[in-house]
Amino acid sequence: MFETLSDRLTSVFSSLRAKGRLSDADIDATCREIRIALLEADVALPVVKDFVAHVKERARGVEVSQALNPAQQVVKIVNDELIDILGGETRRLRYAKTPPTVLMLAGLQGSGKTTLAGKLARWLREQGHVPLLVACDLQRPNAVQQLSVMAERAEVAVFAPEPGNGVGDPVEVARRSVEHAKRQQHDVVIIDTAGRLGIDQELMRQAADIRDAVSPDEVLFVVDAMIGQDAVTTAQAFMTGVGFDGVVLTKLDGDARGGAALSVRHVTGRPIMFASTGEKLEDFDAFHPDRMAGRILDMGDILTLIEQAQKTFDEAEAAKMASKMASGDGFTLDDFLDQMMMVRKMGPIKNLLGMMPGMGQMRDQLNQVDDKDLDRIAAIIRSMTPGERAEPKIIKGSRRERIARGSGVTVTEVNNLVIRFFEAQKMMKRMSQGMGIPGMPGGRR
Ligand code: GDP
């Protein structure tokens, strides 16, 4: 799920990578692309409009940062807005002060309600609760049977009208189940209600009657993420017909485009609380807006890099370094060491390089990068005299031997480092003449 959206957004960001500063025209073009990406993912139009307006406003207001390049800043803004639209904070289940906590599930037939009842029961049981599953779908043949199977798999008790007792009254079953739960020390009651293939008044009235009879602590609206734009209409109908406190998205494992996930919170004002990702009982978890946004952007790594860079880079230091690098010659081995240590502080080098935009294609080479190499380089530089560090050109034959001995490496390694340093110095000169490496101080001008 979300693959198309991820791909599109990633390509929007990669086209920004080469940019120095973002002009208003760049921002407009980017926002247009984001808009198309969201619409193609079946996100509801009002949601798309709001989303893009926010991104545009924030992108125009970004300050020039030494730590982040424009593409990274836009990624960060889009990520923040995605989290926001998905509900911000994770919304946890509210338990009643006096048990039992009553949870009522509502949604269309086939949305995955009964399966969800089982998942929720298992999830709660694993956390030490003693849930009771209640079968109030007395219309669909086999619904009671299906719930009993779920209960068995989830290893929880089930409350259902006796078979052969006629159709039964779901409102009465719900009411009695809560009494039963109190007597039997169940601390959570999960009521599975009847669904229809489409929205209808009878369905809404029955759900509302059950709600009135048991005053649930949470009414959860269950919606199949694969129904695309219809998710929004269905959610609105249930909002008016029954009302609900939270949303459960099911079938997120399908190849849906993800529009439901991105629209439903915004349109109903109710948080997504759980997500279902398969037919098995364990394919289920609480919904975390930040993780979902990371998945959509497929850029969790870059976001981490961005955060680390923001935390680690001292803007003033970075500016000083940038001006040294720009001059090329002013860049000494001491600076080289400082910079390496700065990078080292941000985490394992392999991860770090892997996180840089555009480094994806270089994964194989990156896998050979070792933090120990960095430490060896640091040791070599530390074995040099201040004069040698400031003026690496003087590092010749006997000096090289002394440095190798001092740092416990071979002369070849010292030679290689000096060569690499001169290459880096050359590259910096070129960079300062206009090219730029994203994310590196001084890489933008
Ligand atoms: P209900 O009519 O709302 O009670 O829906 P069911 O619980 O009977 O689910 C309808 C179908 O969807 C069943 O075949 C379930 O196995 C399947 N299903 C439920 N949740 C998921 C899910 O998260 N992923 C997938 N792939 N299938 C699901």
The alpha-helical segments, DSSP class H, found in 131-200 are 143-154, 170-183
Burial readout 339-354 (b: 16 or more C-beta within 10 A, e: otherwise): bbebbbebeebebbbb
Superfamily of domain 3-89: SRP54, nucleotide-binding domain (1.20.120.140)
Output the pLDDT for position 436. Answer: 41
Q: What is the Å distance from ligand 1's center to 325 Cα?
A: 59
Please count the CA atoms within 13 angstroms of the CA of 369 that sit on its side-chain side: 15
Query: In sequence order, what are the beta bridge partners of 131?
Result: 188
Domain ranges of the chain: 3-89, 101-287, 315-432
234 labelled binding-site residue: no
pLDDT for the residue numbered 312: 63
Atom of ligand 1 nearest to the CA of 277: 23
pLDDT at position 178 is 96
Choice from 104, 115, 253 to test ligand 1 binding pocket (greatest atom count within 8 A of CB):
115
The CB-side HSE value for 110 (13 A sphere, CA atoms) comes to 8
Check whether 233 is labelled as a binding-site residue. no
Q: How confident is the model at residue 335 (pLDDT cuts 50, 70, 90)?
A: confident
Q: pLDDT averaged over the chain?
A: 83
Return the number of other C-beta atoms located less than 10 Å from residue 389's C-beta: 18
Instruction: Give me 67's structure tokens.
Output: 């730590």
pLDDT beyond 70 at 288: yes
Q: Given this structure, which CATH class describes domain 101-287?
A: alpha beta
Distance of alpha carbon 61 from alpha carbon 348, whole angstroms: 33
pLDDT at 209: 95
**What local confidence, expressed as pLDDT, does residue 402 receive?**
95
The pLDDT of residue 180: 95
Q: Looking at the predicted structure, is the pLDDT value of residue 53 above 90?
A: yes
pLDDT at position 441, please?
41
Work out which ligand 1 atom sits closest to the CA atom of 107. 3
> Among 120-129, 275-284, 352-361, which range has the highest average pLDDT?
120-129
- Residue 239 CA, chain-centre distance (Å), reads 27
pLDDT class of 324 with cuts at 50, 70, 90? low
Closest atom of ligand 1 relative to the 250 alpha carbon = 23
- Closest among 313, 362, 311, 315 to 342, alpha carbons compared: 313
The mean per-residue pLDDT over the stretch 338-349 comes to: 68
* pLDDT higher than 50, residue 296: yes
pLDDT in the model for residue 105: 97
Interhelix angle 397-407/411-432, nearest 10 degrees:
110
Tell me which residue of 3, 52, 15, 445 sits closest to 256, measured CA to CA. Answer: 3
**What is the per-residue DSSP string for 94-139?**
PPPSSSPEEEEEEE-TTSSHHHHHHHHHHHHHHTT--EEEEEE--S
Does residue 193's CB lie within 6 angstroms of at least one atom of ligand 1? Answer: no
Residue 360 has pLDDT above 50, yes or no: no
Q: Could you confirm whether domain 315-432 is CATH 1.10.260.30? A: yes
Is 252 part of any known ligand binding site? yes
- State phi, psi for 189 to the nearest 5 degrees: -115, 125
Phi-psi label, residue 436: left if phi above 0, alpha if psi -120 to 50, beta otherwise: left
257 phi/psi in degrees, rounded to 5: -90, -10
Residue 36 in this model has a pLDDT that exceeds 80: yes
Dist CA 250 CA 403 (whole Å)? 63
Q: Which residue has the higher pLDDT, 363 or 265?
A: 265
pLDDT of residue 223: 94
End-to-end C-alpha distance for the chain, whole angstroms: 38
- Average pLDDT on 60-65 reads 73
Asked whether 194 and 203 are in contact (CB, 8 A), the reply is yes
Q: Is 423 helix (H, G, I), strand (E, B) or coil?
A: helix
Q: State whether residue 358 is helix, strand or coil.
A: coil
Q: Is the pLDDT confidence value at 350 over 70? A: no
Q: Give the model confidence (pLDDT) of 374-388 as tens digits.
A: 788 889 999 999 999
196 lines ligand 1 (CB under 6 A): no
With a threshold of 0.90, tell me whether the complex ipTM lies above it.
yes
| Model pTM score | 0.71
Residues in contact with 184: Cβ distance below 8 Å, sequence separation at least 6, in sequence order:
132, 157
